[in-house]
Chain A
Amino acid sequence: MSEVRVLVGTSKGAFILRSDEKRKDWTVDGPHFPGWEVYHMTGTPSDPNRLYVSQSGGWFGQVIQRSDDAGKTWEAVSNEFVYDGETGTHQWYDGSQHPWEFTRVWHLEPSPTDPDSIYAGVEDAALFHSADGGKSWQELPGLRKVKGDLWQPGAGGMCLHTIVLSPDNPNRMVVAISAAGAFRTDDGGQTWMPINESLKSDYELPDAEAEVGHCVHSINMHPSNPDILFMQKHWDVMRSDNAGDSWYEVSGNLPSDFGFPIVVHAHEPNTIYVVPIESDSHHFPPEGKLRVYRSRTGGNEWEALTHGLPQSDCYVNVLRNAMCVDSLDSCGIYFGTTGGQVYVSADSGDNWMPIVHDLPRVLSVEVQVVP
């Protein structure tokens, strides 16, 4: 029977939650790196026992940890994230230009085929790559040349938080940055283009349809349809059918189209999930009801999934890297909250149960199914 491992990054350490395919009985392993912020912990598809962790904190900065035995032991690898060439400047809160300053790694995205190849999305926004399992990192500087001087930090910092690798084209990847927008490369990261056409940020930008500057919260896709991208923007749930060349809104009947994560069912390319949040000023669910919304039509038509989730007095948030799906036949959906709960549905969202109630603020959730 397969083992299911849920990798949880929190504001005070990392936890590994383990179960079998039934996903009913769980063990909790942790905290690893207690007291540190773990923005992301992820496994490597081509070597499931290889885990990578972004560990950081205001006192001691950034550390990258690697495990080759599924979290039994850890080795700190390189934390040397040095911008390539001239550091350059981006737009600051007061409209002036401000030098790029490395703060932390938000997201780690391993190659699907090579456990030593991994990308890191960082704040201030840039993309780094390691070809040696994290022992060294090199920036892909072409990204910041795409009007980087116009990018500006959002409230959470100017972070590159989403990295989507194309399953059928190793030269194509999509990244998202708050608050700069979405970008795509078709030549392995040498050159990039903004893919923000038809995004509208009426309240956030003076030019609502600017080429860069949009606050994209997350992007996801199904591997069988890599040209179809789903986006949760600051406001608006969006879809692209041409790898980001243009977008159209699919918010439909959602109670709010503000939110952070968006994920795609493992076996149904048109089934997508979001967690509506009331607004950008109220980071909690509408009406105090924690509801996941599912669309089986690739957007526009949404149904609330509530069974097993708190439906009164619930005021948690679900952050952008804190939702994921597993690959089992009955697809599992997982998300973690800022209140420290991690929920699982083992039946595509119909029924939910908490795996844990009382972790620190959950920053990221990933899942592995290990044969």
Chain B
Amino acid sequence: MITVTLPTHLRDLAKVTGAVELQVADPVTQESILDALEDAYPMLRGTIRDIVTKQRRPFIRFFANGEDLSHQPPSAAVPKEVAVGGQPFRIIGAMAGG
């Protein structure tokens, strides 16, 4: 199982209170995690990545295992620690503002 953490606004939108657990087939990539997340929580479609282009929204970041994965290709495999469920895939609302 993959563990995904969401920022507060998206937890509220998805009506969850903590991290979510997802079954994701190998190979585990950003894209496959987000596909599984949106299948389980369709209200999140369009809030993390564009509905049509699937591009990450500008103020969303993906962190995992101490790394910023935001600029990696969506099809790139996530770190093994995330793929085996040891570390969460963290979806972050980026710092923005003064």
* List of A residues within 8 angstroms of B9 by Cβ: 35-36, 57, 59-60
Question: How many Å from the CB of A139 to the closest CB on chain B?
Answer: 13
Q: Which of A66-97 contact B (CB under 8 A)?
A: 76, 79-80, 82
Measured in the bound complex, the distance between the Cα atoms of B43 and A34 in whole Å is: 17
Describe B's contact surface by its main secondary structure.
Answer: loop
Tell me the nearest residue of chain A to B47, going by C-beta.
A60
Pick from A36, A58, A80: contact of B45, CB under 8 Å: A80
Measured in the bound complex, the distance between the Cα atoms of B47 and A79 in whole Å is: 9
Q: Which of A26-73 contact B (CB under 8 A)?
A: 33-36, 57-63
Measured in the bound complex, the distance between the Cα atoms of B58 and A168 in whole Å is: 45
* List of B residues within 8 angstroms of A82 by Cβ: 51-52
Question: How many Å from the CB of A71 to the closest CB on chain B?
Answer: 15
Question: How many Å from the CB of B43 to the closest CB on chain A?
Answer: 4
Pick from A34, A35, A79: contact of B46, CB under 8 Å: A79
Question: How many Å from the CB of B97 to the closest CB on chain A?
Answer: 9
* List of A residues within 8 angstroms of B52 by Cβ: 82
Q: Which of A205-244 contact B (CB under 8 A)?
A: none
Question: How many Å from the CB of A31 to the closest CB on chain B?
Answer: 11
* List of B residues within 8 angstroms of A34 by Cβ: 12
Describe A's contact surface by its main secondary structure.
Answer: loop
Measured in the bound complex, the distance between the Cα atoms of B13 and A62 in whole Å is: 12
Measured in the bound complex, the distance between the Cα atoms of B43 and A59 in whole Å is: 15
Question: How many Å from the CB of B54 to the closest CB on chain A?
Answer: 13
Known interface pairs A36-B9, A80-B45, A80-B46; A60-B51 also in contact (CB < 8 Å): no
B57 near A: Cβ within 8 Å? yes
Interface 1/0 per residue, B71-98 and A, CB below 8 Å: 0000000000000000000000110100
Question: How many Å from the CB of B49 to the closest CB on chain A?
Answer: 9
Interchain CB contact under 8 A, A63 and B47: yes
| Interface set of A (CB-CB < 8 Å, partner B) | 33-36, 57-63, 76, 79-80, 82
4 A-B pairs closest in CB distance: A76-B43, A60-B47, A59-B59, A59-B93
Jot down 7 A-B pairs with beta carbons below 8 A, ordered by A: A35-B9, A57-B9, A59-B9, A59-B59, A60-B13, A63-B13, A63-B46
In addition to A60-B57, A60-B93, A76-B13, 14 A-B residue pairs with Cβ atoms within 8 Å of each other are: A58-B96, A59-B7, A59-B60, A59-B93, A59-B94, A59-B96, A60-B13, A60-B60, A63-B13, A63-B46, A76-B42, A79-B45, A79-B46, A79-B51
